[in-house]
Amino acid sequence: MKLIDGKKIAADLLGEIAREVNLLTAQGKRPPHLATVLVGHDEASETYVANKVRACHNCGFDATVVRHDVDVTQDELLATIDRLNRDESIDGFIVQLPLPDHIDEQRIIEAIDYRKDVDGFHPINVGRLALGLPCFPTATPQGIATLLDRCHISTEGKHCVVLGNDHIVGRPTAELLMRKAFPGNCAVTVCNGDTPHLEDLTRRADILIAAIGIPHFVKAHMVKDGAVVIDAGTTRLPVPGEPGHYRLHGDVDFDAVAPKCACITPVPGGVGPMTVVSLLKNTLLAATRPALLS
Amino acid sequence: MKLIDGKKIAADLLGEIAREVNLLTAQGKRPPHLATVLVGHDEASETYVANKVRACHNCGFDATVVRHDVDVTQDELLATIDRLNRDESIDGFIVQLPLPDHIDEQRIIEAIDYRKDVDGFHPINVGRLALGLPCFPTATPQGIATLLDRCHISTEGKHCVVLGNDHIVGRPTAELLMRKAFPGNCAVTVCNGDTPHLEDLTRRADILIAAIGIPHFVKAHMVKDGAVVIDAGTTRLPVPGEPGHYRLHGDVDFDAVAPKCACITPVPGGVGPMTVVSLLKNTLLAATRPALLS
């Protein structure tokens, strides 16, 4: 069994991105600039945003955080988005989700100029991904595809089973793997926790991608010997007996499943570190090839 | 084995649409208006356009065909699209594909205002379909979903295998069936002719949807006893010994497969008649609820 070291692969990729930024600034160009809109002070959101800002700085990107109080009105938030859409010094921006209940999340996402939508949540980017056109792919699916690529895991002619059919991870990951490209060119099954006889499907997977959001859901009997297992689960649970401390839990019962696998990602340190890489890759793309999406 | 009579179901649905149009005009509103842009005189395209115009007239729609010679320039075609986008008397329009090689098909599709894109090919409609938002679904996938609905074929908890991964039928059909809706809520596998051990997958299908474009590709040994088989293949081949005559061929070896099935669609007379219904449904939606997509 080979452990897929997402942390190291992400660090390598961030190094490559930093070198590209150096080349840009050496040519007298300004560095890529990512803005993040953060509403309120949710602890998990603060952590995620801080990670993104740190990664930006490590790669030489400019990073701006636009903060709003939790009682910001939808119109105020739309005004911020309009300003960021028009600000030529900003290449891409994201709105950290979730938003408070009084805000229509979909309305906010659709207000973002798709050419700056580096999270890849705007319907145009979702559609362009499905159609195989240049786009900003959603972060986690792109991270998974990059992991497979960097680990030289062939998908060609394989059967890939994606456990989880949400819009953020499961379905766009399936779309990426169906493409006539690398990684891609494989048969893809998308199923979820309600699928009857689920283990009959997951046991057929050459590559099993777990994105169901239920800690330790995938047990050993659900996995074929020699499978590649990618765990995109990131459920954040308090550590028993350690108030204020949290730990990330994957969707895979790692200790039981790992011995059966050809390769497997751990949680943390597998898919997670790749998502911020995807975000920076998208922002670099927005900065250097803005015409690609026009 | 039950034969799914797409011709009758389509006729029923066109009757329902016609009644809705009658209600509209009885209220003093104008009927829905579909325009079709046709470049050149390709025989198959002429037939398809004539079918659409006839269906429009039968339902009380206004129908306009805008013709261009085969040597129309891309700019001229874009000017036509711009005019149709701005023409408030036209609710929806389509550009009959394929276009001549000197025209950038994708550029033309993206020039269509997505709120009038009743073929559902614009990236925004593709993305909105994937995201479960109101949209104009592509005609054939919507037709397949409607057939399942009208035949009371439950998809809930079933395993649906889609054979074919193109952007027009295979992948959007998979997207529709993955939705948390009816029809939907099922495990979906998308595979293609290159998938190794393909019959291992197709034989697992409770519902098998063939959209691979290879006549009679699906043989009896590839189908489970009691499966529902939907044949979206429409390969048009000359009739031997009858010059100038053509016949549509499905992807399924019907005579061998049909005895094994719970239900099956014939070709012609299965999925085919449903596609024009989808187009008219989308146009009616555009005419009556234009705000839905704004």
Q: In the A/B pair of chains, how many CB contacts fall below 8 A?
A: 94
Please choose, from the candidates A52, A32, A28, the residue with its C-alpha nearest in 3D space to the C-alpha of residue A283: A32
Contact call for residues A286 and A136 (beta carbons, < 8 A) = yes
CB contact under 8 A, A106 and B195: no
Contact call for residues B152 and B146 (beta carbons, < 8 A) = no
A116 classed as catalytic:
no
| Closest chain A residue to the Cα of B156, Cα to Cα | A195
Angle, vertex CA A232, rays to CA B157 and CA A51, nearest 5:
145
Q: What is the pLDDT of residue A108?
A: 98
- Number of other CB atoms surrounding residue B254 within 10 Å: 20
Task: Tell me if chain B has a CB within 8 Å of the CB of A258.
Answer: no
Q: Start-end ranges of CATH 3.40.50.10860 in chain B?
A: 27-113
- Number of other CB atoms surrounding residue B78 within 10 Å: 15
The minimum CA-CA distance between B58 and chain A, rounded to whole Å, is 33
CB contact under 8 A, B196 and A130: no
> Which of these is catalytic: A5, A91, A117, A119?
A119
Mean pLDDT of chain A: 95
With cut-offs at 50, 70 and 90, classify the pLDDT of residue A163.
very high
Contacting residues of A for B292, CB less than 8 Å apart? none
Contacting residues of A for B185, CB less than 8 Å apart? 194
Q: What is the pLDDT of residue B284?
A: 97
Q: What is the pLDDT of residue B231?
A: 98
Phi (first) and psi of residue A243, to 5 degrees = -55, 135
Nearest to A178 among B122, B190, B196 (CB): B190
With cut-offs at 50, 70 and 90, classify the pLDDT of residue A22.
very high
| Overall average pLDDT of the A14-38 stretch | 97
Residue A248 makes CB contacts below 8 A (sequence gap 6+) with A234, A235, A236, A267, A268, A272
| Nearest-angstrom CA–CA distance, B143 and B10 | 9
CA A36 to mean position of chain CA atoms:
15
CATH 3.40.50.720 corresponds to the domain B139-272:
yes
| Closest chain B residue to the Cα of A114, Cα to Cα | B124
- Number of other CB atoms surrounding residue A76 within 10 Å: 13
- Amino acid at the residue A77: L
Q: Find residue A36's DSSP bridge partners.
A: A65, A94
- Count of residues making up chain B: 294
CB contact under 8 A, B123 and A132: no
Please write the tens of the pLDDT for every residue from B212-243. 999 999 999 999 999 999 999 999 899 999 99
> Which of these is catalytic: A5, A91, A96, A231?
A96
| Closest chain A residue to the Cα of B179, Cα to Cα | A165
Contact call for residues A212 and A189 (beta carbons, < 8 A) = no
The pairing of beta strand B207-210 with beta strand B228-231: parallel
| Closest chain B residue to the Cα of A167, Cα to Cα | B131
CB contact under 8 A, A190 and B192: no
Contact call for residues A121 and A98 (beta carbons, < 8 A) = no
Burial of B186 (0-12, 13-18, 19+ CB in 10 A): buried
Q: Start-end ranges of CATH 3.40.50.720 in chain B?
A: 139-272
Task: Tell me if chain B has a CB within 8 Å of the CB of A122.
Answer: yes
CA B56 to mean position of chain CA atoms:
16
| Closest chain A residue to the Cα of B174, Cα to Cα | A190
> Which of these is catalytic: B117, B119, B206, B251?
B119
The tokens for A149 are 């690529």
| Nearest-angstrom CA–CA distance, A192 and A213 | 10
Burial of B178 (0-12, 13-18, 19+ CB in 10 A): buried
Q: Start-end ranges of CATH 3.40.50.10860 in chain A?
A: 28-113
For A35, the enclosing helix (H) or strand (E) is strand A33-39
- The CATH number of the structural domain formed by A28-113 is 3.40.50.10860
Q: What is the ipTM of this complex?
A: 0.92
Angle between helix axes B123-131 and A170-178 (nearest 10 degrees) is 130
CATH 3.40.50.10860 corresponds to the domain B27-113:
yes
The CATH architecture to which A139-273 belongs is 3-Layer(aba) Sandwich (3.40)
Is the pLDDT reported for residue A125 higher than 90? yes
Please write the tens of the pLDDT for every residue from A213-261. 999 999 999 999 999 999 999 998 999 999 989 899 999 999 999 999 9
CB contact under 8 A, B130 and A195: no
| Overall average pLDDT of the A73-89 stretch | 98
Please choose, from the candidates B132, B221, B231, B134, the residue with its C-alpha nearest in 3D space to the C-alpha of residue B184: B132
Q: What is the pLDDT of residue A291?
A: 76
Question: Which residues of chain B are modeled with pLDDT < 70?
Answer: none
**What is the SS3 assignment for B266?**
coil
Q: What is the pLDDT of residue A174?
A: 95
Contacting residues of A for B209, CB less than 8 Å apart? none
Residue A100 makes CB contacts below 8 A (sequence gap 6+) with A39, A40, A70, A71, A72
- Amino acid at the residue B95: V
Q: What is the pLDDT of residue B183?
A: 85
Helix ranges (H only) for chain A are 6-26, 43-58, 74-86, 105-111, 123-131, 139-150, 170-178, 198-202, 254-257, 272-288
- Amino acid at the residue A294: S
Phi (first) and psi of residue B169, to 5 degrees = -125, -60
Contacting residues of B for A127, CB less than 8 Å apart? 122-130
**What is the SS3 assignment for B273?**
helix
| Closest chain A residue to the Cα of B106, Cα to Cα | A133
Phi (first) and psi of residue B189, to 5 degrees = -115, 130
Phi (first) and psi of residue A19, to 5 degrees = -65, -40
CB contact under 8 A, A195 and B178: no
For B207, the enclosing helix (H) or strand (E) is strand B207-210
Task: Tell me if chain A has a CB within 8 Å of the CB of B111.
Answer: no
Contacting residues of B for A178, CB less than 8 Å apart? 165, 171, 190
Phi (first) and psi of residue A257, to 5 degrees = -85, -40
The tokens for B165 are 């991964």
Phi (first) and psi of residue A166, to 5 degrees = -80, 175
High-pLDDT (> 90) share of chain A, %: 91
Q: What is the pLDDT of residue A180?
A: 82
- Amino acid at the residue B261: C
Please choose, from the candidates B85, B84, B113, B146, the residue with its C-alpha nearest in 3D space to the C-alpha of residue B275: B146
> Which of these is catalytic: B5, B91, B96, B281?
B96
| Closest chain B residue to the Cα of A120, Cα to Cα | B127
| Nearest-angstrom CA–CA distance, B97 and B87 | 22
Nearest to A188 among B122, B128, B190 (CB): B190
CB contact under 8 A, B122 and A127: yes
A119 classed as catalytic:
yes
Contacting residues of A for B167, CB less than 8 Å apart? 130-132
Q: What is the pLDDT of residue B44?
A: 86
Q: What is the pLDDT of residue A194?
A: 87
The minimum CA-CA distance between A126 and chain B, rounded to whole Å, is 5
Q: What is the pLDDT of residue A124?
A: 96
Q: What is the pLDDT of residue B61?
A: 98
Is the pLDDT reported for residue A202 higher than 90? yes
Task: Tell me if chain B has a CB within 8 Å of the CB of A192.
Answer: yes
Q: What is the pLDDT of residue B95?
A: 98
| Nearest-angstrom CA–CA distance, A162 and A218 | 12
Q: What is the pLDDT of residue B244?
A: 86
Helix ranges (H only) for B27-167 are 43-59, 74-86, 105-111, 123-131, 139-150
Q: What is the CA radius of gyration of chain A?
A: 19
Contacting residues of A for B165, CB less than 8 Å apart? 178
Q: Given 3-state DSSP classes, what are the helix, strand and coil percentages for chain B, each rounded to the nearest 5? A: 45, 15, 40
CB contact under 8 A, A133 and B191: no
CB contact under 8 A, B123 and A124: yes
Q: What is the pLDDT of residue A151?
A: 96
- Put simply, the chain B residues between 130 and 169 with a CB less than 8 A from any chain A CB are 130-133, 157, 159, 165, 167
Task: Tell me if chain A has a CB within 8 Å of the CB of B206.
Answer: no
